[in-house]
């Protein structure tokens, strides 16, 4: 069906899964406030939130298979959006399942923490659907404000409050940059709709307009903060360290996924013609992020900080897919985000199991000799680490994901050979901490005073086993997702390819 987004009913139908999640989250918020806080009520709100997430996931898959399209309008209706929604909902489901057990252990009885995850997820779904700067802004803010609260959800933790404050201040600061960028792009083109901006940049010969260039640069800074690329990454390790582990997983995987999808859509739909102006900046950010993120990761003893730097490194790999600026890059990015999210949630699931009663951060010493006390957790963590590193076969989907990104970089209209080389070299650097982790678990003796980890709670076990199984399955059989993702970029493929806009004389390079 081809939606006409100017008609309210059709617009509503096109927003179906988003509206289902939003209204469901509102109802659950009332339900959470209905009874006084207690451990039992927290669990029941969590379980109902999981049910709502699964319902929305089913609705999204149904929309994916219907293969609807839409005319011009404020939101996109394409498989790229539905695939991104699936990644987001999987992430939200994993987060809620992990935090039900984690909240119980830490004595957090606030049932609304699960509702906040749902509200953040609805903001992300809006963000990945956006084809208008207003919707981009609203989506980012609905997502961010919920995440600020989630970062500080453990009221008894001073570290949590500090992480939340840092996240809030830098998040608001970056939003202001993004917004000023949007304002200047609006000033240059007179439009907020992405495709209209793209058309006007070409038809009004805007390529050298200083207002447009400053606007694009400010938007790049804003998104750079949100996805934690290198000059703007300082907040990430602190915030990831301070937040509860399931929420850290949510921030590292799902928030990043949603922001990257919007980033790609804006850059390929609104600014494809301006590629000569932004291409070098994005490529430079990608290279710096890959090198510095992975290099600092080597020095970390605190496991959550290590994973924070690893996630900064992954932001660099994903920027390579954006720098490729092609359909292949878009589908490679979606597959990468799926593989990365699954591996991240497996790793953070295991971290929540190992975390003790205290607020003390988890270090590599807590993982020493894990193989001797909890062999299955050690095996799970190994698969997650190898997948994040992109190790063949044992790393499952992580390897295929990196392979696709490399392929996209090399087959781009303007081949990104240098970035591909940096990607491979930094993957080698990252082995320094991923494999060190594996070595510590299998070859170090268990420390003297370190207690054996508690039993894995059932829901956490489901998340860990499910995520690991999917990682391995996607590594063996990646085709269905890539096919869905490749079929899922009709809007992007209709946008003029960046190569068209290059001045004559620059080799197109196929």
Q: How far is the CB of 161 from other proteins (least distance, A)?
A: 4
Q: What is the DSSP letter of 274?
A: G
Closest separation in Å from C-beta 450 to other proteins: 20
Here the tokens at position 179 are 């917004």
Q: Which residues bind other proteins (CB under 8 A)?
A: 133-134, 137-138, 141, 145, 148-149, 152, 155, 158-159, 161-166, 168-169, 172-173, 175-176, 179-180, 182-184, 186-187, 190-192, 237-238, 241-242, 300, 302, 305
> 57, 87 in Cβ contact below 8 A?
no
Q: Closest CB to other proteins among 235 and 335?
A: 235
Read off the tokens for 257: 């996924």
What would you report as the CA-atom Rg of the chain, rounded to the nearest whole angstrom?
A: 22
Tell me which residue of 246, 243, 242, 307 sits closest to 102, measured CA to CA: 246
The residue among 41 and 159 lying less far from other proteins, judged by its C-beta, is 159
Q: Helix, strand, or coil here: 39? A: helix
Q: Residues 6 or more apart from 115 whose CB is under 8 A from it?
A: 25, 28, 29, 32, 45, 49
Q: How far is the CB of 299 from other proteins (least distance, A)?
A: 9
No. of H helices and E strands in the chain?
A: 23, 2
Among residues 187 and 458, whose Cβ is nearest to other proteins? Answer: 187
CB of 237 to other proteins, least distance (A): 7
**Crossing angle for the helix pair 275-297 and 210-226, nearest 10 degrees?**
20
Task: Please tell me the distance from the alpha carbon of residue 83 to that of residue 425, in angstroms, as a whole number.
Answer: 30
Rounded least distance, CB 269 to other proteins, Å:
18
| Nearest-approach distance from CB 508 to other proteins, in angstroms | 35
Nearby residues of 222 by Cβ (< 8 Å), 6 or more positions away: 174, 175, 177, 178, 179, 181
What is the Cα–Cα distance from 309 to 354, expressed in whole angstroms?
20
User: What's the rounded Cα separation, in Å, for the pair 438 and 383?
Assistant: 9
| 48 vs 168 by CB, closer to other proteins | 168
Which structure tokens are listed for 423?
């990607």
For 70, phi then psi, to 5°, come to -145, 155
Question: Which candidate, 301, 471, 315, 319, places its Cα nearest to that of 381?
Answer: 471
We find the least distance from the C-beta atom of residue 1 to other proteins, in angstroms, to be 28
Cβ pair 358, 451 in contact under 8 A: no
Distance in Å, CB of 181 to other proteins, minimum:
9
Question: 301 vs 494, which CB is nearer to other proteins?
Answer: 301
210 vs 507 by CB, closer to other proteins: 210
Helices 112-129 and 16-34: crossing angle in degrees, nearest 10, is 170
What DSSP state is assigned to residue 444? S
Q: How far is the CB of 244 from other proteins (least distance, A)?
A: 14
Which CB, 167 or 404, lies closer to other proteins?
Answer: 167
Q: How far is the CB of 195 from other proteins (least distance, A)?
A: 15
Closest approach of other proteins to the CB of residue 154, in Å: 10
Beta carbons of 463 and 389 less than 8 angstroms apart? no
Q: Which is nearer to other proteins, 361 or 490 (CB)?
A: 361
Of the pair 196, 487, the CB lying nearest other proteins is at 196
Instruction: Give whichever of 95 and 300 is closer to other proteins, judged by the CB atom.
Output: 300
Buried b (16+ CB within 10 A) or exposed e, 461-488: bebbebbbebbbebbeebeebbebbbeb
Nearer to other proteins by C-beta: 132 or 327? 132
């Amino acid at each position: 069906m081809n939606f006409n987004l100017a008609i309210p009913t059709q617009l509503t139908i096109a927003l179906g899964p988003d509206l289902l999640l939003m209204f469901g989250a509102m109802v659950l918020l009332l339900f959470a406030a209905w009874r006084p806080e207690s451990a039992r009520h927290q669990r029941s709100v969590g379980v109902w939130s999981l049910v709502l997430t699964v319902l929305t996931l089913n609705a999204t898959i149904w929309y994916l298979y219907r293969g609807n399209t839409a005319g011009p309008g404020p939101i996109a209706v394409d498989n790229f959006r539905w695939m991104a929604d699936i990644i987001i909902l999987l992430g939200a489901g994993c987060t809620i399942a992990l935090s039900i057990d984690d909240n119980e252990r830490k004595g957090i009885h606030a049932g609304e923490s699960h509702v906040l995850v749902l509200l953040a997820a609805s903001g992300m779904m809006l963000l990945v659907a956006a084809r208008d700067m207003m919707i981009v802004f609203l989506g980012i803010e609905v997502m961010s404000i919920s995440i600020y609260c989630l970062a500080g959800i453990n009221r008894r933790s001073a570290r949590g409050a500090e992480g939340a404050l840092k996240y809030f201040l830098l998040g608001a600061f970056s939003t202001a940059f993004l917004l000023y960028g949007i304002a200047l792009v609006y000033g240059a083109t007179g439009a907020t709709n992405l495709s209209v901006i793209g058309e006007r940049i070409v038809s009004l010969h805007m390529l050298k307009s200083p207002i447009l260039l400053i606007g694009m640069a400010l938007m790049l800074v804003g998104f750079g903060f949100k996805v934690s690329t290198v000059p703007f990454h300082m907040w990430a390790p602190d915030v990831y360290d301070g937040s509860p582990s399931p929420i850290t997983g949510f921030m590292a995987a799902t928030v990043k996924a949603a922001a990257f999808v919007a980033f790609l859509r804006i850059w390929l739909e609104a600014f494809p013609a301006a590629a000569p102006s932004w291409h070098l900046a994005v490529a430079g950010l990608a290279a710096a992020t890959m090198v510095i993120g992975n290099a600092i990761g080597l020095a970390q003893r605190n496991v959550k900080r290590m994973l924070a730097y690893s996630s900064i490194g992954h932001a660099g790999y994903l920027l390579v897919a954006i720098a490729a600026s092609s359909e292949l890059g878009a589908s490679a990015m979606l597959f990468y985000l799926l593989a990365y999210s699954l591996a991240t949630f497996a790793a953070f699931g295991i971290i929540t199991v190992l975390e003790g009663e205290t607020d003390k951060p988890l270090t590599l010493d807590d993982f020493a000799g894990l193989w001797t006390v909890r062999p299955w957790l050690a095996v799970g963590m190994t698969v997650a680490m190898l997948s994040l590193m992109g190790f063949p076969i044992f790393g499952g989907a992580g390897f295929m994901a990196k392979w696709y990104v490399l392929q996209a970089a090399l087959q781009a209209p303007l081949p990104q050979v240098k970035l591909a080389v940096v990607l491979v070299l930094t993957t080698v650097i990252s082995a320094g901490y991923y494999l060190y982790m594996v070595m510590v678990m299998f070859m170090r003796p268990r420390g003297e005073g370190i207690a054996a980890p508690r039993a894995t709670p059932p829901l956490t076990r489901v998340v860990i086993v499910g995520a690991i199984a999917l990682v391995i399955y996607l590594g063996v059989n990646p085709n269905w997702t890539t096919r869905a993702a490749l079929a899922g970029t009709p809007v992007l493929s209709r946008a003029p390819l960046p190569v068209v806009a290059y001045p004559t004389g620059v080799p197109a390079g196929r």
